[in-house]
Amino acid sequence: MPQRFTFDASKQNLRMKRYSALAQLYLRLALGTGFTVLALDRVGVWGHYGDTYVSWGDWHHFSAYAHQVMGFLPYSIAEVLAVLASVAELVFGVLLLTGFHTRKAAMGSALLTFCFSVSMAISFGITSPINYSVFTVSAASFLLAGIPEYKWSIDQFLLKHRLQHESIQPVRTTA
């Protein structure tokens, strides 16, 4: 008698849950590392301009590129936006790495990179943000924002702590 293939939905669901937990962690760490490393590069943390593995090395070189990307804006507005974007990238990066306010950080990074993609497309053509995978980073950030749970994060720790604390509280009745 031939052996029949049976589908065990509970095992499949368990595998998918494990896969999803690892995938969200990988995505969160990859995005967080990317944002943090790039933001710190702009202020010379990784070395000077021209050093190996250094893209900007200082604010001057980054600012010149930012003004090319936002060439359709007045200089002063582009400079302010470059500063705000750099601060936002550092904050989003650290939040994603630690898993604190993950959904907000992911949504913020999604919107920021989408704006960057559009600016690149306006200034350099549509292939520029595609070649540098900026749309992909934006989409990945939107995906991360939609994940229901962030295992191995400060968010998850605080949620468990809050739930444990709430379950210990006595039920108060009015007399």
Answer yes or no: is pLDDT of 53 > 90.
yes
- This model's pTM is above 0.75: yes
Of all residues in the chain, what percent carry a pLDDT higher than 70? 90
Asked if pLDDT for residue 1 goes beyond 80, the answer is no
125 vs 166, which has greater pLDDT?
125
Instruction: Residue 65: name the closest of 55, 77, 50 by CA.
Output: 55
Work out the number of other CB atoms within 10 angstroms of the CB of residue 125: 11
Q: How confident is the model at residue 8 (pLDDT cuts 50, 70, 90)?
A: low
Please report the pLDDT score of residue 3 as a whole number. Answer: 64
Predicted confidence at residue 174, as pLDDT, reads 59
Q: What is the DSSP string of 44-55?
A: TTT--TTSTT-S
Show me where the domains of the chain are located: 73-161
